[in-house]
Structure 1
Amino acid sequence: MKKFFKIFAVLLFLLLVYLRTAIYPQLDLISGFASKSVASGHFLDNRSLETIQQGDNDIPKIDWAKNTIDATEKYVTATVYGLKERKAIYREGLGATLINDDFDVSKPYNVPKRKKLENNLPFPYGNNEPKDTVFTNIDYKKLNATVANAFDKKGEKSKRTRAILVIYKDKIIAEKYDTNFNKNSRLLGWSMTKSITATMFGILQKQGKIDVTKPAPITEWKKDNRAKITLNDLLHMNSGLEWEEKYDKICDATKMLFQAENMSRAQLEKPLAFAPNTHWNYSSGTTNLLSGILRNQFKTHQEYLDFWYTNLLDKIGMNSALVETDMAGNFVGSSYGWATARDWGKFGLLYLHKGNWNGEQLFDESWANYVATPTNTSNGRYGAQFWLNAGGHFPDVPREMYYASGYQGQMVAIFPSRDLVIVHLGLSEKFDFNRFLSGVTGSLSKKN
């Protein structure tokens, strides 16, 4: 019996050591993700706590969290078995922000000035319903079957598609939503937000206010070996800066998103691991650094906040769109962009038309080619904050396709020669994009 208790005591000790060293440090991130996700989903898209916990938050370990919504004060708290309470607050115009104990919730804050597109035009250049259009070169039976097959059947939970939108020649030719979602549902794009951030540089360059070929304007780098890093290197994830991005562990990316007050500094403070333009490394920290650089291009914080909406999002009628901010007031340009499927589609159309929106050139035509040109050492997979199919990652999909991409299967795919944009929003990393995209493109013949 004594031997049994000794063995039991040793095993219990080892278990406690494991929990303390391996699990306990993760609790801060678990409750942080949970509270932020619930706050965003509830206050931005009016989802119930049950819907969010059974959908957005049914991720391993994240579902350990217990979440509480305060609808009056507009915040959410989350704990993991009563430990590591985290709080996310909602502020109209800025979205949900995960805060720490030092954050002053009573401090005044700026919000972007918004202007809703108002005209009598149908989608995409107005907010009226799209006109029904039938194209003779489309196999609608195949198209509709492909779209239907992208959704789970009743009782299934594998494809987890929430929304699909297919736009051909500026006309919606297919649109479908999962149960409880519709054309007005705001959906998180995750890293598709990176493509929005890059676009802000294209607009500034068109306005003659920035040159992406120049060294990054960062004072802290001027006297060390990071001085040669250009904006071009940052946009292409090719800076050579040290960074780890894995979402199943505590790493640079998770510490930035769920602990940092100022996310724009997470990558800024990293040393070089490789010479610039010699090593591609995907980094959300880099994109948030770019957001911080954008902020420094303006005299006031208000101008920075307004610029994203006045010069892009509201300009093209993405009135549902919102990019959330961190505690320091920076747009979280790596991850926290929200919009309806139709508004994500408008973003794709802007690139399909090489920066021209209903007659107005927002960025130079060359910028669309720039973002779709493969980054050195990415094997044809990445451009400037856009993903590419140049290397044939999706073997049955046209190589010309480039796309904004986000965690859990978010995609805005652009097919220049086919006059086609495809939007997919969902909750699965295992979604078969090769089958889906090839099915849609295969339903269009070359004849116009």
Structure 2
Amino acid sequence: MKKFFKFVGIGIFVVFLYVAITSYPKLDLISGFSAKSVASGHFIDNRSQEMIEKGDNDINLIDLAKNSINESGKFATASVYGLKERKAIYREGLGATLINDEFDDSKPYLVPKRTLSINNLPFPYGNLEAKDSIFNTIDYTKLNVAVANAFNTEGKIDKRTRSLLVIYKDKIIAEKYDVGFDKESKILGWSMTKSITSAMFGILEKQGKMNIYAPAPIPEWANDERKSITTNDLLHMNSGLEWEEKYDKICDATKMLFQAEDMTISQLEKPAAYKPNTHWNYSSGTTNLLSGILRKQFKTHQEYLDFWYGALIDKIGMNSMILETDMKGNYVGSSYGWATTRDWAKFGLLYLHKGNWNGEQIFNESWATYTATPTNTSNGDYGGHFWLNSGGKFPDVPRDMYYCGGFQGQMVVIIPSLDLVIVRMGLKENPEFDFNKMFKEIIRSLKK
């Protein structure tokens, strides 16, 4: 019997040792995600710690973190069983940044200069409420049912939609929010931010300052096989560079987002795994590399910070938007854009109208076409930092649909053939949430 208990004890110890060895490295990422999420959600959108933990942080392993908010210091900390404590600081104008022990948070920093557009026009082109519009071509009963079907029913959390906005011919025809959210709530778009980054290159192209078909302006690649990679390849996630993007493990993407000081160099340092334009591979590192390329187009860091807002975000009235930065002050163009649902919709409308915003051409019409043209190795699923439906991923939706897409089912959908923009923000994504059904029901409410 003693031998039996001895073997049981050894077995338990081995299991404990295995779990400790395999899980301990993840603790840094778990506490990092949690601290960043709490700091951003609380200081950007005024959410309570409880609300963030039950919603944003209700993710396997992330829910192990114990969090704390320091109101006066404007920061949040998180740890797992007292281990691997991480800290995220909030700075007005820059959002929340996950920092390491070497970061000097007392050092002065630059913030973007914002210009808030104020006029007497109704939404989407002004600050007034949207005008009530009734279309005799819409079955509003069907539309309202379609919208209601996208939200949880009482006592369930199977759909977890936070907001749904439908805009037809520039008019809001449906808008609904979950409990705790409204039209002023700022919601993280996650990878929808990639499409914002792409738009900045369209603006530079229109200004004659960027040739996306030339080799990417990266001196470190000048003398090796990466020298032929173009900015166009990067915009199409088709560079051939090595990169792993898996969020259930320690990988290139998680190390970049939760450990890197300068996220613009994580992809830059990777070797070529394939020839350019031969192998599509989704990479958040590529988008942050593009953010770094944008930085090099300006003489000063202040100009870089201002450009994103002055040339696009504030120009089209997305005044709620906050782009968060890494420890080096670079915009995390892959993942960290926050805005209200209505402001995310404005970005979709800009593309619906091929870059024209109330008479002003923000980027060339051809850029919208470029964005919605499939990358030749993506099976029709991806374009210029936008997702596409040309491959029929959503079978009951027109093939000309293209969209910004983000973690947990954030979507800004543009359907030119129907003059339609749909924004859905939430915590469930495809296939757990049936997007095809939602789109089909909304489209069927538009009478032919």
Q: TM-score range by the shorter chain?
A: over 0.9
Task: Tell me what 1:216 maps to.
Answer: 216
Residues 100-126 of structure 1, C-alpha deviation per residue, up to 9 Å, x if partnerless? Answer: 000000111000000111000000000
Aligned-partner Cα distance in 2 for 1:186–1:24: 33
- TM superposition shift of 1:445: 2.6
Task: Tell me what 1:345 maps to.
Answer: 345
2:92 is aligned with 1:102: no
- TM superposition shift of 1:381: 0.2
Task: Tell me what 1:26 maps to.
Answer: 26
Task: Tell me what 2:409 maps to.
Answer: 409
- TM superposition shift of 1:17: 2.4
Q: CA RMSD in A?
A: 0.7
- TM superposition shift of 1:347: 0.2
Task: Tell me what 2:373 maps to.
Answer: 373
Residues 209-229 of structure 1, C-alpha deviation per residue, up to 9 Å, x if partnerless? Answer: 101111100010000000000
Aligned-partner Cα distance in 2 for 1:21–1:199: 43
Aligned-partner Cα distance in 2 for 1:305–1:431: 36
Task: Tell me what 2:164 maps to.
Answer: 164
Task: Tell me what 2:200 maps to.
Answer: 200
Contact 2:387 2:404 in 1 (8 A): yes
Aligned-partner Cα distance in 2 for 1:215–1:73: 44
Q: Pick the aligned partner of 1:438 from 435, 440, 447.
A: 440
Residues 296-349 of structure 1, C-alpha deviation per residue, up to 9 Å, x if partnerless? Answer: 100000000000000000000000001100001000000000000000000000
Contact 2:114 2:310 in 1 (8 A): yes
Residue 160 of structure 1 aligns with an amino acid whose one-letter code is R
Superposition pairs for residues 220-231 of structure 1, below 5 Å? 220-231=220-231
Task: Tell me what 1:188 maps to.
Answer: 188
Residues 56-91 of structure 1, C-alpha deviation per residue, up to 9 Å, x if partnerless? Answer: 001010000000000100000001011000000000
Residues 247-274 of structure 1, C-alpha deviation per residue, up to 9 Å, x if partnerless? Answer: 0111100000000000000000000011
- TM superposition shift of 1:443: 1.1
Residue 364 of structure 1 aligns with an amino acid whose one-letter code is N
Aligned-partner Cα distance in 2 for 1:107–1:211: 36
Residue 338 of structure 1 aligns with an amino acid whose one-letter code is W
- TM superposition shift of 1:155: 1.0
Task: Tell me what 2:419 maps to.
Answer: 419
Superposition pairs for residues 293-372 of structure 1, below 5 Å? 293-372=293-372
Residue 211 of structure 1 aligns with an amino acid whose one-letter code is N
Residue 416 of structure 2 aligns with an amino acid whose one-letter code is P
Aligned-partner Cα distance in 2 for 1:7–1:319: 64
Aligned-partner Cα distance in 1 for 2:299–2:263: 20
Task: Tell me what 1:277 maps to.
Answer: 277
Secondary structure of residue in 1 paired with 2:272: coil
- TM superposition shift of 1:3: 1.2
Residues 361-405 of structure 1, C-alpha deviation per residue, up to 9 Å, x if partnerless? Answer: 010000000010000110000001000000000111111100000
Aligned-partner Cα distance in 1 for 2:310–2:52: 31
Scaled by the length of structure 2, what TM-score is found? 0.99
Aligned-partner Cα distance in 2 for 1:354–1:285: 27
Task: Tell me what 2:174 maps to.
Answer: 174
Task: Tell me what 1:16 maps to.
Answer: 16
Secondary structure of residue in 2 paired with 1:227: helix
- TM superposition shift of 1:2: 2.1
- TM superposition shift of 1:8: 2.2
Secondary structure of residue in 2 paired with 1:191: helix
Contact 2:390 2:400 in 1 (8 A): yes
- TM superposition shift of 1:414: 0.2
Residues 135-167 of structure 1, C-alpha deviation per residue, up to 9 Å, x if partnerless? Answer: 011111111100001000111111000000000
Task: Tell me what 2:265 maps to.
Answer: 265
Secondary structure of residue in 2 paired with 1:56: coil
Residue 424 of structure 1 aligns with an amino acid whose one-letter code is R
Task: Tell me what 2:286 maps to.
Answer: 286
Counting matched residue pairs gives 446
- TM superposition shift of 1:6: 2.2
Residue 171 of structure 2 aligns with an amino acid whose one-letter code is K
Q: Which runs of 5+ in 2 are unaligned?
A: none
Residue 438 of structure 2 aligns with an amino acid whose one-letter code is F
Aligned-partner Cα distance in 2 for 1:154–1:54: 17
Task: Tell me what 1:153 maps to.
Answer: 153
- TM superposition shift of 1:94: 0.1
Aligned-partner Cα distance in 1 for 2:288–2:10: 46
- TM superposition shift of 1:11: 1.3
Aligned-partner Cα distance in 1 for 2:214–2:10: 60
Q: Which runs of 5+ in 1 are unaligned?
A: none
Contact 2:324 2:331 in 1 (8 A): yes
- TM superposition shift of 1:354: 0.2
Aligned-partner Cα distance in 2 for 1:269–1:14: 38
Residue 390 of structure 1 aligns with an amino acid whose one-letter code is S
Contact 2:165 2:175 in 1 (8 A): yes
Identify the range of structure 1 (117-126 vs 6-15) with the bigger mean alpha-carbon deviation.
6-15
Secondary structure of residue in 1 paired with 2:190: coil
Aligned-partner Cα distance in 2 for 1:183–1:241: 40
Runs of 4+ in structure 1 off by over 4 angstroms are none
Residue 440 of structure 2 aligns with an amino acid whose one-letter code is S
Aligned-partner Cα distance in 2 for 1:129–1:7: 71
Residues 33-61 of structure 1, C-alpha deviation per residue, up to 9 Å, x if partnerless? Answer: 00000000000000000000000001010
Contact 2:398 2:417 in 1 (8 A): no
- TM superposition shift of 1:418: 1.1
- TM superposition shift of 1:12: 2.4
Aligned-partner Cα distance in 1 for 2:275–2:16: 43
Residue 439 of structure 2 aligns with an amino acid whose one-letter code is L
Aligned-partner Cα distance in 2 for 1:167–1:110: 36
Task: Tell me what 1:129 maps to.
Answer: 129
Aligned-partner Cα distance in 1 for 2:200–2:5: 64
